[in-house]
């Protein structure tokens, strides 16, 4: 039997999504996108945007606009949304209860941790500070680390490389069906959480499913059995 770290865990690393997994931001992201599209005269239904949260703007925008709209303001709406998020929404976001304690618990078990996000670099830096996680991380990704956002596997692949961990001993942790698809394309097993507001059936392909990150950390020994050889 191979153990991945001195604390007896087989799990070597976890790649943690941020939005909807560690911080309660998914509804606010939907609000921000709706407002951004409206700024350019495009009305979109909130629910139509909400189901796409977890993609980056590189995918969400062309999935929402038609060809003429893309030519007219596709790039502009992405830039405007980024500015609007930082100006009006970002500092209203709060971590989920016990998010930092969960990160600390994972770290204390000897699990290498990386944040796997395609948000802008300054946003990721803000969340690292918000969660008090800097000293606990082996790495963190941002938009600059991948050409395409989830469900492309690039972000999880970049986070994995930052940890230096064995992919056969690594979990991806996220809250959206795009996280599940992205990780499985590497392939990495997935721990999904319901805290991001996606329906249980949309996360059914994840190897494990929990209510939130706190519930996950209470089951680390059971999760670790996945890597028994």
Residue 70 forms part of a structural domain = yes
**pLDDT tens sequence across 5-36:** 767 899 999 999 999 999 999 999 999 999 99
107/31 same-domain check:
no
Which of 76, 92, 108 corresponds to the end of one domain?
Answer: 92
Q: What pLDDT is attached to residue 8? A: 86
Q: How many CB atoms lie within 10 A of CB 44?
A: 16
Q: Is the pLDDT of residue 4 over 60?
A: no
Co-location of 42 and 143 in the same domain: no
Distances (CA, A) of 138 to 38, 40, 151, 162: 39, 40, 23, 7
Average pLDDT over residues 44-69: 97
Instruction: State whether 44 and 118 are in the same domain.
Output: no
| pLDDT at residue number 7 | 75
Whole domain around residue 87: which residue ranges?
26-92
* Mean pLDDT of the 102-120 span: 97
Residue 9 DSSP one-character state: -
Q: Is residue 7, in this structure, part of any structural domain at all?
A: no
User: In the prediction, which pLDDT does 55 show?
Assistant: 93
Co-location of 55 and 131 in the same domain? no
Question: Which of the four pLDDT bands, split at 50, 70 and 90, describes residue 2?
Answer: low
Q: Please tell me the pTM assigned to this model.
A: 0.96
The C-alpha atoms of residue 50 and residue 54 are separated, in whole angstroms, by: 9
pLDDT computed for residue 215 by the predictor: 98
Reported as type and span, the H/E element at residue 190 is: strand 190-193
Mean pLDDT of the chain: 96
6 in any annotated domain: no
Number of domains the chain is built from:
2
pLDDT score at 229: 73
197 and 220 part of one domain: yes
107 and 172 fall within a common domain: yes
Q: What is the pLDDT of residue 3?
A: 56
DSSP of 118-163: -S-HHHHHHHHHHTT-GGG-SEE--GGG-SS-TTSSHHHHHHHHHH
Does one domain contain both 73 and 101? no
Which pLDDT does position 5 carry in this prediction?
73
Is residue 5 situated within a structural domain?
A: no
pLDDT over threshold 80, residue 174 = yes
Residues 6+ apart with CB under 8 A from 193: 20, 21, 173, 174, 175, 209, 210, 211, 212, 213, 215, 216
- 81, 102: one domain: no
Mean pLDDT score, 189-217: 98
């Amino acid at each position: 039997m191979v153990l991945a770290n001195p604390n007896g865990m087989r799990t070597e690393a976890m790649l943690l999504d941020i939005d909807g997994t560690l911080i309660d931001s998914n509804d606010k992201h939907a609000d921000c996108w709706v407002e951004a599209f409206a700024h350019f005269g495009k009305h979109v239904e909130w629910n139509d945007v909400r189901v796409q949260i977890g993609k980056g703007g590189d995918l969400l925008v062309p999935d929402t606009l038609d060809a003429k709209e893309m030519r007219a303001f596709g790039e502009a709406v992405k830039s405007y949304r980024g500015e609007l998020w930082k100006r009006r929404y970002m500092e209203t976001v709060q971590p989920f209860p016990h998010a930092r304690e969960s990160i600390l618990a994972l770290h204390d078990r000897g699990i290498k941790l990386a944040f796997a996000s395609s948000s802008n670099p300054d946003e990721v830096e803000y969340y690292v500070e918000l969660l008090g996680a800097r000293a606990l991380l082996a790495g963190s990704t941002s938009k600059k680390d991948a050409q395409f956002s989830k469900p492309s596997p690039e972000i999880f692949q970049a986070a994995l490389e930052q940890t230096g961990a064995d992919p056969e001993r690594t979990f991806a942790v996220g809250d959206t069906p795009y996280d599940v698809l992205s990780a499985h394309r590497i392939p990495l097993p997935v721990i999904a959480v319901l805290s991001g507001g996606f329906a249980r059936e949309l996360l059914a392909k994840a190897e494990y499913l929990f209510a939130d990150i706190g519930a996950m950390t209470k089951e680390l020994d059971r999760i670790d059995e996945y890597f028994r050889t």
